[in-house]
Chains A and B, each alone.
Chain A
Amino acid sequence: AQSVTQPDIHITVSEGASLELRCNYSYGATPYLFWYVQSPGQGLQLLLKYFSGDTLVQGIKGFEAEFKRSQSSFNLRKPSVHWSDAAEYFCAVDNVNQFYFGTGTSLTVIP
């Protein structure tokens, strides 16, 4: 069955520090993978996506993610976090006509 696991419910980082958010997926075929960000009370904004090609993908706001098939992972990274990055982050796998989302990781940024 298709599923996405985000092991970290909440992460706190200092502004300027690096960030890595973990995502593991379960999918029978070649996965289409996405990272979305959600600010409080808002909808979801697409950060980046992967479905083929280079396994290191670049997204908006300085985010990148690396697809590792052997580990069934698609971790999100950012080299230097800004206070405005505080939000909820969701990893998702596309199952042709619907997404399966993880439960999200809440990011707090401290000055």
Chain B
Amino acid sequence: DTGVSQNPRHKITKRGQNVTFRCDPISEHNRLYWYRQTLGQGPEFLTYFQNEAQLEKSRLLSDRFSAERPKGSFSTLEIQRTEQGDSAMYLCASSPTGGRNYGYTFGSGTRLTVV
């Protein structure tokens, strides 16, 4: 069990560019979550997957955001036409089904800076 892995750790991009982040969950966890954390705030829910199915999306996930988990293993989060307001830490977490009984395991996050 190597934990939840996120890449890259840091990403600096120019406004208007597209960026993609990757998350590799704990292998036996079938649930995967994306959260966004801005400076001085707690993480906010973006979306979650049960295996390859995206089951819930937050209103924070605008049309410029898309997340996939094609084979029920790793997941990607893409942001198109980045804006300065997208600057944040993007956290991935995974859990078994019934995650509320166990808590989530979080990765170290990808810090995005849009300049």
**B101 is an interface residue with CB less than 8 A from chain A:** yes
Interface residues in A, total, Cβ within 8 A:
24
Residues of B near A45 (CB, < 8 A) are 106
Q: How far is the CA of A94 from the CA of B44 in the complex (A)?
A: 12
What range describes how many residues of B lie at the interface?
20 to 34
Identify the stretch in A14-22, A36-44, A66-74, A79-87 within 8 Å (CB) of chain B at 4 or more residues. Answer: A36-44
Select B42's contact among A46, A49, A51, A90, beta carbons within 8 Å: A90
Whether A34 sits at the interface, judged by CB under 8 Å, is yes
A interface secondary structure, majority: strand
Q: Please tell me if the beta carbons of A101 and B43 are within 8 angstroms of each other in the complex.
A: yes
User: In the complex, A85 Cα to B34 Cα: how many Å?
Assistant: 26
Cβ–Cβ < 8 Å partners of A42 in chain B: 108-109
By beta carbon, the residue of chain A nearest B6 is A43
Residues of chain B whose beta carbon lies under 8 Å from any beta carbon of chain A:
4, 6, 33, 35, 40-45, 48, 55-56, 58, 91, 93, 99-109, 111
**Interface of A with B (CB < 8 Å)?**
4, 32, 34, 36, 41-46, 49, 51, 90, 92, 94, 96-104
